[in-house]
Amino acid sequence: MEKTLETVALAGNPNAGKTTLFNALCGTAEKVGNYSGVTVSVKKGEFYTPHGRKLSLIDLPGCYSLSGGSPDQEIAANILLGKDSKHERPDLVVCVLDSSNLERHVQLALEIIELKIPVIVVLNMVDMAEKSGLRLDPLKLSEELGVPVVPIQANRGKGLTELKQAMRHPFPSPPAPRWEAGNAEARRTFGLAVTELTARRPTLHSSNFSDRLDVILLHPVFGWVCFIGIMFALFWSIFSFAGIPMGWIESLQDFLIGKVEGKMNEGDLRDLLTQGVIGGVGAVVIFLPQILLLFFFIGLLESSGYMARAAFLMDGFMAKVGLSGKAFLPLLSSYACAIPGVMATRTIDSAKERLVTIFVAPWMSCSARLPVYLLLVPMLLGGSEGGSKQALVFLSIYVLGTLTAFIVARILRGRLGPDEIKSHFLLELPPYRLPQWSYIFRHVIDRGWAFLKNAGTLILGIMILLWAATTYPKLESDDPAEVLAHTVVGRVSHFIEPIVRPLGFDGRTGTAILTSFAAREVFVGSMAQLFQVEVSDDEQETRDHIRDSLAAEKWPDGRPMFGPAAVISLLIFYIYALQCLPTSAVVAREAGSWRWAVGQFVFMTIFAAVASLLVYQIARLFNLA
Amino acid sequence: MAHPTVQDLELDSLQSLAQAQVGCDFQIRYLEGPGCDQLRNLGFCETLQVRKLAGGRNLICSVCGTRLAVSSDLADQIKVSPVTHS
Amino acid sequence: MHDWQSWTALAIVVLTIVAFIFRAKRRAKKEARGCGDCGSGKFS
Cβ distance A97 to A199 under 8 Å?
A: no
Beta bridge partners of B79: B16, B30
Cβ distance A79 to A42 under 8 Å?
A: yes
Find which of A217, A328, A429 to mutate to test the B interface (most B CBs within 10 Å of its CB): A429
The amino acid sitting at C34 is G
Chains that touch A (3 or more CB pairs under 8 A): B, C
Beta bridge partners of B26: B50, B82
pLDDT at A502: 93
Query: Three-state SS across A490-543?
Result: HHHHHHHHHHHHHHCCCHHHHHHHHHCCCCCCHHHHHHHHHCCCCCCCCCCCHH
What confidence category does residue C32 fall into, taking pLDDT thresholds of 50, 70 and 90? low
Find which of A294, A296, A464, A470 to mutate to test the C interface (most C CBs within 10 Å of its CB): A464
User: In angstroms, what separates the C-alpha of C20 from chain A's closest C-alpha?
Assistant: 8
Chains C and A touch (3+ CB pairs under 8 A): yes
Residue contact A134–B66, C-beta within 8 A: no
- DSSP 8-class letter at A102: H
Contacts (Cβ under 8 Å, ≥6 apart) of A251 = none
Q: Which among A69, A103, A312 has CB closest to B58?
A: A312
User: In angstroms, what separates the C-alpha of A233 from chain C's closest C-alpha?
Assistant: 23
Q: CB atoms < 10 A from the CB of B13, how many?
A: 8
Q: Average pLDDT by consecutive 10-residue portion of chain A (625 residues)?
A: 77 94 92 90 91 92 88 93 88 94 91 93 92 90 93 92 88 86 88 89 72 90 94 86 77 87 88 88 87 92 93 91 90 92 91 94 92 88 70 90 95 87 85 90 92 91 93 83 86 92 92 90 89 52 67 84 91 94 90 92 96 94 74
Architecture of the domain whose range is B14-82 = Roll (2.30)
* CA diameter of chain A: 91
Question: In chain A, what percentage of residues exceed pLDDT 90?
Answer: 51
CB pairs under 8 A between A and B: 101
Whether a cis peptide bond, with omega within 30° of 0, leads into A473 is yes
- The b/e string for A389-410 (b: 16+ C-beta within 10 A; e otherwise) is ebbbbbbebbebbbebbbebbb
Cβ distance A370 to A294 under 8 Å?
A: yes
Burial class (CB in 10 A: 0-12, 13-18, 19+), A412: middle
Contacts of A69 in chain B (CB under 8 A): 38, 41
User: In angstroms, what separates the C-alpha of B41 from chain A's closest C-alpha?
Assistant: 6
The mean pLDDT value of chain A amounts to 88
- Going by their DSSP bridges, the two strands A119-124 and A92-98 should be labelled as parallel
3-state DSSP percent of chain A in helix, strand and coil, to 5: 65, 10, 30
Contacts of C28 in chain A (CB under 8 A): none
A34 in contact with chain B, both atoms CB, cutoff 8 A: no
Residue contact A291–C34, C-beta within 8 A: no
The residue among A313, A440, A347 whose CA lies nearest residue A33 is: A440
Residue contact A104–B66, C-beta within 8 A: yes
Q: How far is CA A90 from CA A34, A59, A86, A479, in A?
A: 26, 11, 12, 71
Spell out the domain ranges in chain B. 14-82
Find which of A39, A265, A268 to mutate to test the C interface (most C CBs within 10 Å of its CB): A268
pLDDT at A601: 95
ipTM of predicted assembly, 2 dp: 0.90
Region C10-20: what's the mean pLDDT? 94
pLDDT at A181: 83
A446 in contact with chain C, both atoms CB, cutoff 8 A: yes
Q: To which H or E segment does residue A48 belong?
A: strand A43-48
Q: CB atoms < 10 A from the CB of A117, how many?
A: 19
Cβ distance A322 to A356 under 8 Å?
A: yes
Spell out the domain ranges in chain A. 2-200, 242-286+440-561
The amino acid sitting at A130 is E
The residue among A209, C5, A205, A559 whose CA lies nearest residue B65 is: A205
Cβ distance A136 to A194 under 8 Å?
A: no
Q: What is the CATH number of domain A2-200?
A: 3.40.50.300
pLDDT at A556: 85
The mean pLDDT value of chain C amounts to 81
Residue contact A425–B71, C-beta within 8 A: yes
Q: Rounded to an integer, what distance in angstroms lies between the CA atom of residue C37 and that of residue A288?
A: 11
CB pairs under 8 A between A and C: 104
pLDDT at A239: 82
Positions of chain B with pLDDT lower than 50, given as ranges: none
Beta bridge partners of A56: A7, A46
